[in-house]
Structure 1
Amino acid sequence: MEFGIKKCRVLVMKKGRHHKSGIELASEDKIKEIDLEEGYKYLGVLEADSIKEKIMKENVRKEYIRWVKEIQRSKLNRRNTISAINARAVSIIRYIAGTVGWKTDELQSLDRRTRKLLTTYNMFQSKGDVDRLYQQRSEGGRKKEDCVLIEKSCLYCYVSVSEELLLKESLNESVVAVGHDKETVLTIRKSKFLEKKLHSVFFKAIEFRDVKRYEWLRKGDWKKAAEGTLMAGQEQAIRTRSIQHRIDRVDIPPNCRICDEREETVAHIVSECGKLAQKQYKQWRQDNVAQTIHWQLCKDNSLEHNEQWYDHRPKAIVENESFKLLWDMRIQTDRELAYNNPDIIAFNKDKRTCLIIDVTCPFDYRLPEGEREKIDCYDELKRELKRIWNCREIKIVPIVIGAFGTISTRSHS
């Protein structure tokens, strides 16, 4: 085992002044003195007669931005991307918290730079809500760590739970600044977000309804750009003609550029435009949801199906000895019915039970109304099928999913 003399340095200070003098060892080796300009790195912190704060801040800033860019270029999904930034990039700032004296505006500048990089890689919209970005995913946010909060609370949290007498005394004597805990800061941010008139419109509309709002956020398996666009739509951050006309004061008509019948809002684009409803809403959204349900029913009942749901192409009739599935088929009844063409009918031959399944994707605050409409529409078909097919039990199962991913409790179960 050898002692690394070449790595060692010595610093001699007399009455606050630096004296150049190395240490000569008996082995005729010499421990060099520290260059005050270059400093000496000890446990990752550059120091000489004092900590080189200016150089340390610049090095940390460059390393933090480098890691944020590297993670953004990776193929991680949206949830793992944010987790990686918190674990790898933010940890660089967390490590030197309390050692280097960061100013609040310096950390805020780092946060702004991070948001710009998220915008560059389509994970965040430039007009999106900043407070929501730092919320927990269960609360509708993305769980991004706040650099300012990390620096302020990290040292305080460490000292407050320590059992060492000196550290406890430093807290009593206010040597360590008292910072807000994470839960308090998130509560404040959430309150600020809900006070915003434009960004919080969507969330206030569905706040008291019996829905599951953030299942897609908790799973985190979407692409980065898809999540960024969807969240921007929820926050009314997409510059529709209505927003450009009323808020940006651009001299353009506020009506929809496709149908020109109603004002072009986010809600109108995703669920209310008459021309888009003819194809895009039905084929690209509702049919895809129904196709996934059809694939799962085929899989559960040993019917013919593809290995992956996205390759599945439902057939009009699929059946075996005990189960029968009808896809998008008009049902012949003794009397004419206004609604006799549900997306799926699942008939259990052994139990003589039947499920009438129909999918709809309205705007999110219309989920309860959408469920009631589907149940009322197919009530007559339910009575007719029970009589014609001699069923013991028939259930109407409305699958109602909001255009922005909100799922009713009934549909979820």
Structure 2
Amino acid sequence: MLEKTQYGYQFKIGTKIYHLFYMDDIKLYTNKKRDIDSLIHLTQVYSKDIEMTFGIEKCGRLIFKKVHSMLTVGLRMPNGTIKYIEKGYKYLGIMQSNINHEAKVRHKALTDYKKRLWQILRSQLNAKNQVMAINTYALPVIKYSAGIIKWTEEAIIETDTTTRKLLTKQEALHPKSDTTRFYLNRKNGGRGLKSVQQTVKEEKQSIKAYAASMATSDTLLA
């Protein structure tokens, strides 16, 4: 329905994009202000038809002229007003505007990672299960943004160092233990912890491989 309106955002290469859609989160694109308002109304009407709540309090509208955002009033809807976004918005957990707010996303990811790491280390889990919990509960916070925002090598190394220091402080890692063995999988005699460095590397490679596989059918990825 959105594509039939022909209101999408057209790139210089000719490709037109109408929306990003994941589960119940949607982001709409157009070249003109009046067109985006039409797509928003269309989405609202369709949501009502299928009896799906249109979460207007979570919606926002951001309009750019070239690279600069334009101050506008909110868009009035039957069930409220969609607010004007001035400094950016969050889509699928990533702060954005006309660019990704990389510094903010990195800071939040690191803060959440350390918070989860402390939760694990203060728990009553044994050494083996602590490592498993870090791999499955703490590291995904960093993995989620890898390949979407830039992680400097310095930040990655520093985070791995901080992880080992916290483990040592909680007596979960001996200060003189072999670092290489710590990250070696258990089948080969290691502790099995995945490093932040390896996590970021694998995720970037995964996204790169996916983009390459889709390049033949998507001109934006070619």
Q: Structure 2 length normalisation: TM-score?
A: 0.69
Aligned residues: 170
SS in 2 for 1:88: helix
Instruction: Give the one of 137, 143, 151 matched to 1:88.
Output: 137
Determine if the alignment matches structure 1 residue 18 to structure 2 residue 69. Answer: yes
Distance 1:126 1:26, change over 3 A: closer
Distance 1:17 1:163 in 2: 32
Equivalent-residue separation in structure 2 for 1:168 and 1:128 (angstroms): 50
**Structure 2 residue corresponding to 1:129, chosen from 131, 155, 178:** 178
Amino acid at match of 1:11: L
5 Å matches for 1:328-339? none
Please give the root-mean-square deviation of Cα atoms over the aligned residues, in Å. 2.4
| Matched AA of 1:132 | R
Shift of 1:151: 0.9
Tell me if structure 2 keeps the 8 A contact 1:159–1:168. Answer: no
Paired residue for 1:6?
Answer: 57
Distance 2:143 2:174 in 1: 27
Matched, 1:74 2:113: no
CA shift for structure 1 position 118 = 0.7
CA drift at 1:163: 8.3
Query: Gaps (5+ residues) in structure 2?
Result: 1-50
Q: Match for residue 307 of structure 1?
A: none
Matching residue's letter, 2:122: R
Asked if structure 1 preserves the Cα contact closer than 8 Å seen for 2:160 and 2:195, the reply is yes
Aligned to 1:34: 85
Q: Deviations over 1:77-136 (max 9, x none)?
A: 111110000001001111111111000110111101100011011111222211111001
Q: Distance in 2 between matches of 1:95 and 1:139?
A: 28
Corresponding position of 2:103: 54
Per-residue CA deviations over 1:32-53 (Å, capped at 9, x if unaligned) read 11131xx311111111221111
After TM superposition, the structure 1 = structure 2 runs for residues 162-241 of structure 1, keeping only pairs within 5 Å, are: 164-166=213-215
Q: Which structure is larger by alpha-carbon Rg, 1 or 2?
A: 1
Give the match for residue 151 of structure 1: 200
Determine helix, strand or coil for the equivalent of 2:117.
helix
Q: In the TM superposition, what is the alpha-carbon distance from 1:27 to its structure 2 partner?
A: 2.7
Letter in 2 for 1:51: N
Question: How high is the sequence identity, in percent, across the aligned residues?
Answer: 29
- The answer for the alignment partner of 1:106 in structure 2 is 155
Task: Answer yes or no: is the 8 Å Cα contact 1:162–1:168 preserved in 2.
Answer: no
Is the 1:24–1:31 Cα contact (8 Å) retained in structure 2? yes
Give the Å deviation of 1:10: 0.8
Separation in 2, partners of 1:25, 1:12 = 16
In structure 2, how many angstroms separate the alpha carbons of the residues matched to 1:116 and 1:128? 12
Distance in 1 (alpha carbons) for counterparts of 2:169 and 2:86 = 41
Q: Any stretches of 5+ residues in structure 1 without a counterpart? A: 174-413
